[in-house]
Amino acid sequence: MFAFIVRRLLTIPITILLVVFVTFIVLRVTGDPVQIYLDINATPEQTALLRERLHLDEPLIVQFGLFLWDVLRGDFGMSLQFATPALPVVLGRLGATIQLVSVALLFAFVFGVAGGIVAALRKDRLPDFLLSALAVAGQSMPSFWLGILLIQTFALDLKWLPTSGTGSWQHLILPAVTLATFLLPNFILITRTTVLETRSELFLTTARSKGASESSIMFRHLLPNAINPVLSFLGLQMGRLVGGSIITETIFAWPGIGSLMIRSIFQRDVPVVIAAVFIVSIAIVLANLLVDILQSLIDPRMRLD
C-alpha cells in the first residue's frame, strides 16, 4: 500500500500542472487581464506599465512559465476586493467549506447506505418502493430549489432554524441537508444493487452453513463487499460534490470557498478565483486518494501495491 500511495502522490503534480495550464488558457481566452485591473479611464501609459508588470509583453510560453512559478510559490497576486494576498483569503474560508462538505458527506453516506440495505433486505416490499421512489425523486431535484424550499419551510414558516449564515450547529443543518441530496439518492440505489448481488454469493452460503449469525454475516461478510462500489462512486463524485457546495454556500450565505468564488467572479477578482481553483483541485485529488486507501482497508482483495 505504501508504494501505491507514493505513486499516487507523484501523480498529483501532473494533475495540478494540468489545472494551472487550463486556468492560464481560460484567463487569456476570456479577455485582456489588463482590463480587469484598470478602468476605462486608464491612460495608455498606465496600460503599458501594467502590461509590463504582468509580463504580458513577453511571449506566451514565457508568460505561462512565470505564471506557473508564481503558483508554485503560492503567489496568486493581490486580491482586488480585500487588498491582501489572495491565498490567505482563500485559506481563511477553507475551514467552513470542509465543515459543510464533511457533515453533508457523512449524512449522505450513513443514511444512503442504511437506506440501500433496508431496501435490499425488503426487496419488492413497501420500504423498498418508498426508498427507491425517494432516491429517484432526489436525483431529479435541483439543489438550489431544494435549498429555497427548506429555507421557506423550516426557517420562515416553522421558524425552527436560521435562514442563512453561520455561528452554531443549527446554521449547518439546512445547507448540509441540501448538499447531501447530491449523493444520497445514488448511495441508496448503488447500495441496494450491490447488496442484492452480494447476497447471492456462495461465500455467504458457506458462512451460514458454519453457523454464523445474520448480524455477523451482514457486518463481516456482506457489507465490506457491498460497500466498495459506493466508495468508488464517491471518489468519482468528489468534484460534483464540491461544485454543489458552491451553489449551496451561495444560497445559505455560508462563508466558504464556494461563496467566495462566486463573489470574486462578479467582482472580477481574478487572483482569488485562481487561488480558489488551485486549493479546490488539491482537495479533490487528496480526497480521491483517501477514498482509494479506505477501499483497500475495507476489502483485503484489493492489492493496491
**Domain assignment present for 234:** yes
Confidence band for 207, pLDDT divided at 50, 70 and 90: confident
**Domain assignment present for 81:** no
**Domain assignment present for 185:** yes
* Boundary residue ending a domain (14, 43, 72): 72
Please tell me whether residues 211 and 289 are part of one structural domain.
yes
Please tell me whether residues 50 and 110 are part of one structural domain.
no
* Boundary residue ending a domain (20, 42, 72): 72
Please tell me whether residues 14 and 141 are part of one structural domain.
no
**Domain assignment present for 304:** no
Structural domain of 27:
2-72
**Domain assignment present for 78:** no
Average pLDDT over residues 63-92: 85
Count of domains forming the chain: 2
Please tell me whether residues 6 and 91 are part of one structural domain.
no
CATH code for position 248 = 1.10.3720.10
- For residue 283, what are the contacts with CB-CB under 8 A and spacing of at least 6? 242
**Domain assignment present for 286:** yes
10, 128, 134 from 124: Cα distances, Å: 48, 6, 15
- Comparison of pLDDT for 73 and 51, the residue scoring more: 73
pLDDT (tens digit per residue) in 88-112: 999 999 888 989 988 998 998 889 8
Residue 179 has pLDDT above 60, yes or no: yes
- Comparison of pLDDT for 106 and 230, the residue scoring more: 106
Residue 231 has pLDDT above 70, yes or no: yes
For residue 302, what pLDDT is reported? 57
Q: What angle do CA 169, 173, 176 make, to 5 degrees?
A: 120
Distance (Å, whole) CA 79 – CA 87: 9
pLDDT (tens digit per residue) in 135-160: 888 777 887 888 888 888 898 888 88
**Domain assignment present for 77:** no
Distance (Å, whole) CA 155 – CA 181: 19
Average pLDDT over residues 207-229: 75
Confidence band for 11, pLDDT divided at 50, 70 and 90: confident
- Comparison of pLDDT for 86 and 298, the residue scoring more: 86
Cell output for 24 = 492560464
Please tell me whether residues 57 and 195 are part of one structural domain.
no
**Domain assignment present for 212:** yes
For residue 281, what pLDDT is reported? 85
For residue 88, what pLDDT is reported? 92
- Residues above pLDDT 70, as percent of the chain: 92
Please tell me whether residues 113 and 186 are part of one structural domain.
yes
Please tell me whether residues 36 and 143 are part of one structural domain.
no
For residue 300, what pLDDT is reported? 61
Please tell me whether residues 114 and 211 are part of one structural domain.
yes
Please tell me whether residues 52 and 195 are part of one structural domain.
no
Which pTM value belongs to this model? 0.81
- Quickly count: other Cβ atoms within 10 Å of residue 143's Cβ: 18
Average pLDDT over residues 185-203: 83
